Amino acid sequence: MLPNEAGISRRALLSMIGTAAGSAVMYGAMSKMGLAQESTWTGRLDLQGDPKGASVLILGAGLAGMTAAFELRNAGYTVKVLEYRKKAGGRCWTLRSGDTYTELGGFTQQVDFAEGNYINPGPWRIPSDHFAVLDYCKRFGVELEPFQQVNYNAYVHDTNAFDGKPQRFKEIDADFRGGVSELLAKVADQGMLDQMVTEEDAEILVSALKGWGVLDDDLEYVTGEASSSHRGWKVPEGGGTTGKPVPSEITPLSVILQSGLWSKISGGHHLHMQTTMFQPKGGMDMVARGFEGEVGDLITYGAKVTRIENTETGVRATWIPSEGEGEETVEEADYCICTIPFSVLGQIETNFSSRMTGIIQNMPYYSATKVGLEFKRRFWEEDEHIYGGISYTNLPISQISYPSTGYFSDGPGVLLGAYVWGAYSYQFNALPGEQRVEKALEYGAQIHPQYHDEFKTGVGVGWHRVPWSLGCFGQWKDRDADYMDACQMDGRTLMAGEHISYLPAWMEGAILSSIDAVKRLHETVTAT
Amino acid sequence: MLPNEAGISRRALLSMIGTAAGSAVMYGAMSKMGLAQESTWTGRLDLQGDPKGASVLILGAGLAGMTAAFELRNAGYTVKVLEYRKKAGGRCWTLRSGDTYTELGGFTQQVDFAEGNYINPGPWRIPSDHFAVLDYCKRFGVELEPFQQVNYNAYVHDTNAFDGKPQRFKEIDADFRGGVSELLAKVADQGMLDQMVTEEDAEILVSALKGWGVLDDDLEYVTGEASSSHRGWKVPEGGGTTGKPVPSEITPLSVILQSGLWSKISGGHHLHMQTTMFQPKGGMDMVARGFEGEVGDLITYGAKVTRIENTETGVRATWIPSEGEGEETVEEADYCICTIPFSVLGQIETNFSSRMTGIIQNMPYYSATKVGLEFKRRFWEEDEHIYGGISYTNLPISQISYPSTGYFSDGPGVLLGAYVWGAYSYQFNALPGEQRVEKALEYGAQIHPQYHDEFKTGVGVGWHRVPWSLGCFGQWKDRDADYMDACQMDGRTLMAGEHISYLPAWMEGAILSSIDAVKRLHETVTAT
């Protein structure tokens, strides 16, 4: 910690205040000292104060690096960015027709998708509470379109339930809510909640559950018009002489419970998965291109950093060309914002403090594999009326996500055919790309038999083999102990990226961590 | 009923079979006679058989009328359509900049929206299980985009709850589910459900509710990370030193129950409101234009039907120009498909059977008012991060729907500022258009105070004053008694439209009723 003017560390001072006067006073004191909790995103940055000619070297042209480059140049800094790849974006990445991807180990995959089709191996959706991403997209002219997370007509699937037959989300969702509502409404009606709710509340609760769970007057969730209006009809409502619908049979709660499929209907309740969500038109890397359009002139591409040194008065980084032969180049600057993932940074020579080095070495990166599958036609729409959204399964592929764009079009379409996590992911990653695709096809065909006839081409990305990240996202083993120290300026270097945030794996986390680093760097510069 | 070959009515025959042999045999018999229940939409029509030069006069160029025109011409019929308005679509209608709308009573409203902005006074969304609408859109090149029904960041509002302050949907939704889950998990855990579920199921139920309701290990729904990850944080997750989020306080179940806001969170569970939903790009009447592009040459516009007569060998309709002066014109055809709403048809002279006339006269039309409000900027997005979806309120406006298109754009935006039903609607309809707009502003400002400063222009449509429908949609007083008789051919005339369907008010109902009428007309023609 930096000492304050009186030579007492902030933490020590706060501790004294806290002990003496209680937390309200302490909060007030923290506020004045700029440590109090406020949102990282407080609107567009408007950095006041003279940067005094300071220069900043930014390592990595992912979203964190480019955010820093954009904001620091705007504030008057001299900025340079080193990027390992030949393009910007880092994990904000899209694979399209004509792309070639060579992973660690040398496997190369050619992407043969039809023109306009793509897969996002990294981030693929933007929650509507990710204000920073949304705002930069607006500023940089990145066009967004809705991303469908939940589709009630998609499937939930478990090989051990319903004889392995996929069930429609809407059926399991309605039947679970109905069954649960029936049980609670009945115990409330029988006065069994007397210890827990007032009589009046119990009465309202029964009414509420009747509506929410579509119960009948006997407080039962039964086969009929009400349940079919939620879970779907056997024969749907129509017109004329054939218009009268036929209800579908509800599935009893016991069967739903035993199936385990209730575990697959809650995703859309999570803050980051709630409607409305977005994606850029044309692929997630349109976000990266938006940033690149602003700061591309600051980026040196194809630069593999080999050494980072804090010096007495600044920072020095050495790099070589990331491909082919080439001389070492040395860059010097007053400050450094380092957005290189710790998984990669741990393999680079540095003179960071032993505390920082320990944190870097101690951070595992999560493993994930994504497989994009292109099919000759959008059979999920044409045959099964699934427009966007996600089917969930207990198979290693974990989910199948249907494209949220190009609805109703006739040509080939690309599914996210596998989003493999953890242990399964290591198995997938061990395989060459084409075998990852085969695996995804083999599993996915249990949900969509059309896979066999309609498959066209695919690509599989295992994140532990992605040379510029060596993993999907950073995991804190002991966040409480280490996180704040990782945020501190180490010599003249500040870390930024999704790993330096409470939104790991999200683009918003990368950008917000960068904004926080930029603010603190600027405070340091203007305060000296 | 038409007699069958043996001279016994179908119904009498079926009744005999039913009595003698039980319902399974009866169902088989019905199937063979073409009366068994099957979905109205069985894929694209492919009418085989010679129409023998038959002609069909179609009354009304709404979606039902245009569907019939398209399918009958395809099958070889001579088709003519009479339409009251100067354009096609009926209630599938969009108001845009430059439009003028004169309602019954002579009030005229000019629509001053900015270029590209619009309001759909009638249908405004397409569920993804409305296969017929979706398929005709695809055939006719009508481009669709997602319609957001549910937005977790929109509001639920009741003037008598939370001091009249709107609450975010996600907060009420999470807290209600959490509170309900806590109660049921506890009673299950305490063995109080022994009469209703097995011990094993009770255990699974507790697990399921823990996940679904984000309960802690004591089965309580509490303020903390889990609940805030669903209802939203006090200070959201961020990056760097300011990244640690601060949980928001949950609202106790008792408060949720007393607020009544639980009644406003279930809409999206209904089959016709489930994700994914669609709307045409540019306004709902793009659907009408799609049809019109196919059958516009068959339509006589501006024709007000004054008399419909079944004759010995066909049908005769008399019309006059709907505007200005003009002679009576008489049209004759072998058959008629009449899609004129019963609310209007009841005022036209006909020689329909007394049974049909009684049904027509006996059908009330639902009252609804919609108000479109244009504001200088999209403050709901810019200030409140509400992208599409609907806020619900107990105020007469009932809801505010945010546009599902043009997200993040800078110009003026149009809200559906009121969707007024029933008794409130009559009050709204009694007012001139500009006062409906004022009312919508006055109420809506209780939810969005920005209304005061940002209002630009508006238009209000009361459906009971729309000259070509005199109401929103047909309501069956006794569907069981009357519906099938209304479907029967009366002389040479068949009725079609949303009122002749089990999907009242929906475009799908109009189209499906028309498809059923077309099939039956064709059966009759080819059978003779």
Q: Tell me if the domain spanning B168-256 has CATH number 1.20.1440.240.
A: yes
CA A88 to the chain's CA centroid: 18
Give start-end residues of each CATH 3.50.50.60 domain in chain A.
55-89+288-362+478-527
Which part of chain B has CATH 3.90.660.10?
95-153+275-283+366-465
A232 and B517 within 8 Å at the Cβ level: the answer is: no
Confidence check on the interface: ipTM exceeds 0.90, yes or no: yes
Minimal Cβ distance to A128: which of B153, B235, B511: B153
* Cβ–Cβ contact B206 with A under 8 A: no
Helix spans in B140-233 (H):
169-189, 199-212, 225-231
CA distance to B79, B142, B242, per residue, from A513 (Å): 67, 44, 9
Partner-chain contact A183 B177, CB within 8 Å: no
Segments of A124-202 assigned E as strands? 126-127, 144-147, 155-157, 167-168
Tell me, yes or no, if A193 comes closer than 8 A to chain B by beta carbon: yes
Contact at CB, A129 and B184, closer than 8 angstroms: no
Average pLDDT over residues A156-179: 98
| Gap between the Cα atoms of B339 and B345, Å rounded | 9
* A478 touches A384 (CB < 8 A): no
Across A26-42, average pLDDT: 55
Which of A40, A138, A239 has the CB atom closest to B515's CB atom? A239
State pTM to two decimals.
0.92
Q: Quick check: B260 and B176 in contact, CB under 8 A?
A: no
Yes or no, beta carbons of B151 and A276 under 8 Å apart: yes
Query: Which helix or strand (DSSP H or E) is residue B504 part of?
Result: none
The top-level CATH class assigned to B95-153+275-283+366-465 is alpha beta
DSSP A439-487: HHHHHHTTT-TTHHHHEEEEEEEEGGG-TTTSSSSB--SSHHHHHHHHH
- For residue A129 the two structure tokens come to 């509470």
Rounded-to-integer distance, Cα A24 and Cα B182, Å: 32
Query: Residue B446's pLDDT is what?
Result: 98
Q: Give, in order, the Cα–Cα distances in Å from B8 to each of B11, B15, B28, B353, B484.
A: 8, 11, 18, 21, 19
Q: Which CATH class is domain A169-256?
A: mainly alpha
> Hey, which residues 266-305 in chain A have their CB within 8 Å of chain B?
266, 269-271, 274-276, 278
Per residue in A352-411, pLDDT (tens digit) is 999 999 999 999 999 999 999 999 999 999 999 999 999 999 999 999 999 999 999 999
> β-strand B329-333 against B277-280: which pairing, if any?
unpaired
CB-based contact, A235 to chain B, within 8 Å: yes
Please compute Rg for chain B using Cα positions.
27
Is A237 an 8 Å CB contact of chain B? yes
Q: B237 to chain A: nearest residue by CA?
A: A502
For residue A462, the cross-strand partners are: A369
Minimum distance, in Å, between the CA of residue A108 and any CA atom of chain B: 35
In angstroms, rounded to a whole number, what is the distance separating the alpha carbons of residues B235 and A355?
29
Could you tell me which chain B residue has the CA closest to the CA of A40? B238
Side-chain-side CA neighbours of A157 within 13 Å: the count stands at: 24
Count of CB atoms situated within 10 Å of the CB of B192? 17
A246 has a chain B CB within 8 A of its CB: yes
Closest residue of chain B to A495, computed from CA coordinates: B240
Alpha helices by DSSP H, listed for B262-403, are: 285-295, 342-345, 354-361, 379-382
Which of B 343-402 lie inside 8 A of A, CB atoms?
A: 385, 387-389
| Residue B165 contacts A where some CB pair is shorter than 8 Å | no
Say if the Cβ atoms of B274 and A152 lie within 8 Å.
Answer: yes
Enumerate the CATH 1.20.1440.240 domain ranges in chain B, comma separated. Answer: 168-256
Per-residue pLDDT tens over the stretch A216-257:
999 999 999 999 999 999 999 999 999 999 999 999 999 999
B55-89+286-360+477-527 sits in which CATH class? alpha beta
Cβ–Cβ under 8 Å, residues B245 and B127 = no
**Which pairs count as long-range contacts for A196-203, CB under 8 Å and 24+ apart, including other chains?**
A196/B183, A196/B186, A197/B183, A197/B253, A197/B254, A198/B254, A201/B253, A201/B254, A201/B257, A201/B258
A193, A242, A269 ranked by CB distance to B174: nearest: A269
Match domain A55-89+288-362+478-527 to its CATH number in 3.50.50.60, 3.40.30.10, 1.10.3720.10, 3.30.460.10: 3.50.50.60
Q: Output B398 or A10, whichever has higher pLDDT.
A: B398
Say if residue B22's pLDDT is above 60. Answer: no
Q: How many CB atoms lie within 10 A of CB A249?
A: 13
Could you write out the three-class secondary structure of A33-97? Answer: CCCCCCCCCCCCCCCCCCCCCCEEEEECCEHHHHHHHHHHHHCCCEEEEECCCCCCECCCCCEEC
Side-chain half-sphere CA neighbours of A2 within 13 A: 13
Q: Return d(Cα A317, Cα A460) in angstroms, integer.
A: 34
pLDDT of amino acid A38 = 67
CA nearest B351: which of B321, B307, B382? B307
Q: State whether residue B240 is helix, strand or coil.
A: helix
In the chain, the amino acid numbered B107 is: F
pLDDT, tens only, A76-128: 999 999 999 999 999 999 999 999 999 999 999 999 999 999 999 999 999 99
Q: Of A235, A212, A215, A222, whose CA–CA distance to B503 is shortest?
A: A235
CB contact under 8 Å between A239 and B484, yes or no, is no
d(CA B277, CA B405): 13
Question: Do residues A351 and A332 lie in contact, with contact meaning Cβ atoms separated by under 8 Å?
Answer: no
* Start-to-end Cα distance in chain A: 16
pLDDT on residue B37? 52
Residues of chain B with CATH 3.50.50.60: 55-89+286-360+477-527
- pLDDT value of position B528: 76
How far is A110 from A372, CA to CA, in rounded Å? Answer: 12
* Strand ranges, E, within B213-340: 277-280, 299-300, 303-310, 315-321, 329-333, 335-338
Cβ contact, residue pair B502, A276, below 8 Å: no
Residue of B nearest to A381 (CA): B128
Segments of chain A assigned to CATH 1.20.1440.240? 169-256
User: Does the pLDDT of residue B160 top 70, yes or no?
Assistant: yes
Nearest to A237 among B198, B274, B502 (CB): B502
Can the peptide bond before residue A528 be classed as cis, meaning omega within 30 degrees of 0?
Answer: no
How many Å apart are CA A439 and CA A429, to the nearest integer?
A: 11
Whether A263 contacts chain B with CB within 8 A: yes
State the smallest CA–CA distance between residue A516 and chain B in angstroms: 5
| Residue A36 binned pLDDT confidence (cut-offs 50, 70, 90) | very low
**A-interface mutation test, from B169, B181, B264, B271, most A Cβ less than 10 A away:** B271
